[in-house]
Amino acid sequence: QVHLVESGGGTVQAGGSLRLSCVASGYTFNTYCMGWFRQAPGKERERIATIDSDSSTDYADSVKGRFTISKDNAKNTLYLQMNSLKPEDTAMYYCTAGEDGSCVSSYYYGMNYWGKGTLVTISS
């Protein structure tokens, strides 16, 4: 049974930083595509960063240069380092996993597993 548990959300001022973590269990972590999505109130869910099984990364234009996705296969943990935060980054952030190690494929066919989310609030 797959479990994804996010942590690290909170409230920070604009320009600040946060690091989100996602601890995974129930599958072979290093063979899956992993990613972070977010959803702001009244908006659609948005893909913000993904990391393939081979550690190739990809970012949405809205976060490129400010956010960094990484993973520690030994700890079965996914991270999202968020710097230079803006009020428009306010959202619920979700960790997700795709059974295809290629995130292009996993994203196309739909990510398989989702965490419950962690709330990030950026004050101006």
- Give the residue-averaged pLDDT of 31-44: 96
**Of the candidates 50, 119, 121, the residue with the CA atom closest to the CA atom of residue 90:** 121
- Give the residue-averaged pLDDT of 2-22: 97
- Give the residue-averaged pLDDT of 10-15: 98
- Give the residue-averaged pLDDT of 53-59: 96
Tokens 């490129």 locate to 64
Q: What are phi and psi of 23, to 5 degrees?
A: -95, 125
Amino acid 90: pLDDT? 98
Amino acid 109: pLDDT? 83
Beta strands in the chain (DSSP E): 3-7, 10-13, 18-25, 33-39, 46-51, 57-59, 67-72, 77-82, 91-98, 113-114, 118-123
Whether the CB-CB separation of 43 and 92 falls below 8 Å is answered with no
- Give the residue-averaged pLDDT of 6-30: 96
Amino acid 106: pLDDT? 87
**Of the candidates 104, 89, 100, the residue with the CA atom closest to the CA atom of residue 48:** 89
Structural element, H or E, at residue 44: none
Amino acid 103: pLDDT? 92
